[in-house]
Every structure is written in structure tokens, then in C-alpha cells.
Amino acid sequence: MLVFREYNKNMLEASSLALGFFDGVHLGHQKVISNAVKKAQQLGVTSAAVTFSQHPRYIISKSASLTPASNSITFLEEKLELFENLGLQAAVIINFNESIAKMTAHDYLQNVLIDCLNAKNITIGYNHKFGQQSCKHKQPNQCINYPDKHVDNKTGNGKFLQENSEKYGFNVDIISPVKVNGHVVSSSAIRKHIFSGDVCAANHFLGRPFAVTGKVVHGQHLGRSIGFPTANLDIPYELIIPLRGVYKGNVEIDSNIHSAVINVGIRPTLGDLKRDLVEAHILNFDEDIYGKHIKVSFLSRIRDEKKFDSLDELKAQIQEDCQKAITATEGKDEKNSNFRILRF
């Protein structure tokens, strides 16, 4: 898959575009992308996703750090991998800055989607919007501070694209909401599930297990001292992690999958940490993986994080946690243990 980190005139000869930030690349996003891929095949053009290097909220809020529940579900490189798995031929990553934020919907359509990407088909989700929001301020630069997100005052939407489709010679597809068990799939809903520890619900919305990827770093080696060594992950601050607790999951190392028990929290029995730590005890595994980047997937929640009165109590509980994870794996009784990218 081709990856463009800037846009220039006529960079694509003709394209079928999927528009969105695609945080999580969940089932709804997958349907948008799959439609763009299908239309590209029908038209004989390049399928491409147009997305941003960071979420617009970081520019809009003037802050690089928002509440944990608003942090990203997927980092950019993982998102690109998921794009490629869905069959996209190209991804255009736009650096969302104040200049882009101030661009009108019409300017964005003409200068980016038409002049640079030669869009012949554009697919968006039912609630996708773009372009500078309408504003009553006399000074245009004051509009960068967007009003309430629930107010529908962005000028670029499905109706806008349909009204301009004939003029610029492209077709528009608007994808309806995707529902799971009667609930609309959305990135905000997935964040809430992850932040509350309900990774099973998040996984069904994502169509795959929620995962974090990070570099294995040295800790205090306290886990090894009690017989349960852990891989401590260095997780970027902007990525969301689940509610503190113990989880059953998988760890991917060099394309190999291993069952694991994952702890998220401050390890109250061994000494409080200032920041939540993600550490995985990999079952039946004893190799040196310091410095490697590994992927930790969360399948289900086993229990809350708890402070024990002694190390012996902690060891007994970890042994029980491991047994639960092994039993679940052997019994294959978890509905969300095997996911795949769905193709619509």
C-alpha cells in the first residue's frame, strides 16, 4: 500500500476515497473502507483512505493531552496496517494543523479531494463532517475554537458532497450506522467500553481484540522475583488503556501468538506507581525480549486490581489468574477469542 504524508496536485490519477479519522478502524469504518475498495475495482481507479496524522481535537482543544477516555484507540502505524488488510491501495495522511482547520469545506473538496486526488467516488460514514465550522465571530481565526461538538455546524457533510458531485464529476456513497446487538458502533462507544474495562464489548465493536503495542522495557524485576516475570510495555500517553485490573489476553512476538495474563494498574502490593503500567505475564514462555516491540491483545477481564496483605497471597492469586486463562484457552469458551477483519 502506498502511503502519502503530504498532498500535491494530481498525486493520484483517479481515485475512490474513504474519508475519516478512522480511530479504531471499527466495524463501521471497515464498511466505509470496503465500499471505497469495491467502487475502486468497479471504476478501475485507486482506492485510498484520506485521514489525519492526529485527531483534530488536539488542535481544536489547543492541548496535546485530553482526558484518558478521549485518547486514541489505535496508533497511526497500526491503522495503516489495518487499511492494507482491508484492501486499500493507498493512504493519504494529512497533518491536521490550524491551516487545515480553517479550510472551508469547498476549499478542502476542490484543493485536496479533486485537485490532488482526482476523486471519482467518495465514501463517508453517515455522521462524517469536514471543513471549517460556521461561526458568528467577526474575526475568522476565532472560529478555530469550535463550538459544542454536538452542534451540527460543519459545512462539509454528505449533503454537501451530493450537491457538488455533478459539478466535480464524482459519485457519493453514505454508509448507514453499523449496529451490534442494537447499539451503534462508534469510536466514542469503544473508548467508553475500554475505559470501563469491558473489553469484550469493545472487541465486538472493533471486530477484533483491542490491543496495544509497545516496547518491552526494564522494570524493577519484582514479577520475576516471585516467580511470575512480566513484560512491561512503554505505551504512548495518547493511547487509551483499559481500566485497572487483570485480563486474559494474547501477546504477539515476532509473529508468534502466546497466551498471557495482563495486569493494568499501579501494582499496589509491590509499591505504588505514578502511572498505570501495562505488563503481561506470558504463559509457558521464558525468553529475553527486552527492547522488542510486542502486541498485547485483551480478550476478557478476570478481576479488579487488588492490594494483597502479603506476597504469598499475591502469588496465589496470580496462579489462580493463570489457571483461569489456561482453562478459558483450552475450553475455547470465549466468543471473542478469534476475530478477523470483516469484509462487507
DSSP assignment string, 103-159: --HHHHIIIIIITTT-EEEEEEETT--EEEEP---SSGGGGGS---TTS--EEESHH
Query: Left if phi > 0, otherwise alpha if psi is -120 to 50, otherwise beta: which for 128?
Result: beta
Q: 209-331, what's its fold? A: Elongation Factor Tu (Ef-tu); domain 3 (2.40.30)
Grid cell for residue 125? 460514514
Give the bridge partners for 240, in sequence order.
none
CA 182, 185, 186 angle in degrees (round to 5)?
A: 145
What's the gap between Cα 88 and its chain centre? 17
Nearest in space to 201 (alpha carbons), one of 211, 215, 191, 214: 191
The confidence score (pLDDT) of residue 312 equals 87
SS3 73: coil
CB-based contact 258:285 (threshold 8 Å)? yes
CB atoms within 10 A of CB 266: 17
Task: Tell me the one-letter amino acid at 69.
Answer: A
What is the enclosing helix (H) or strand (E) of 234?
A: strand 231-234
Q: 2-180, what's its fold? A: Rossmann fold (3.40.50)
Give the bridge partners for 174, in sequence order.
124
What's the gap between Cα 43 and its chain centre? 30
pTM of the model: 0.84
Residues constituting the chain = 344
Burial letters for 285-304: b for 16+ Cβ neighbours within 10 Å, e otherwise?
beeeeeeeebbbbbbbbbee
CB-based contact 263:246 (threshold 8 Å)? yes
Task: Tell me the one-letter amino acid at 45.
Answer: V
Q: Dihedral of CA 30/33/35/40: which sign?
A: negative
Domain boundaries, the chain: 2-180, 209-331
Place of cell 484520506: 50
For each successive 10 residues of the chain (344 residues), what is the average pLDDT?
A: 93 97 97 98 98 68 51 92 97 87 91 97 95 57 43 75 96 97 95 96 97 88 74 88 95 94 80 76 91 95 88 88 79 46 40
Task: Please tell me what DSSP assigns to residue 141.
Answer: G
The confidence score (pLDDT) of residue 56 equals 60
The confidence score (pLDDT) of residue 16 equals 98
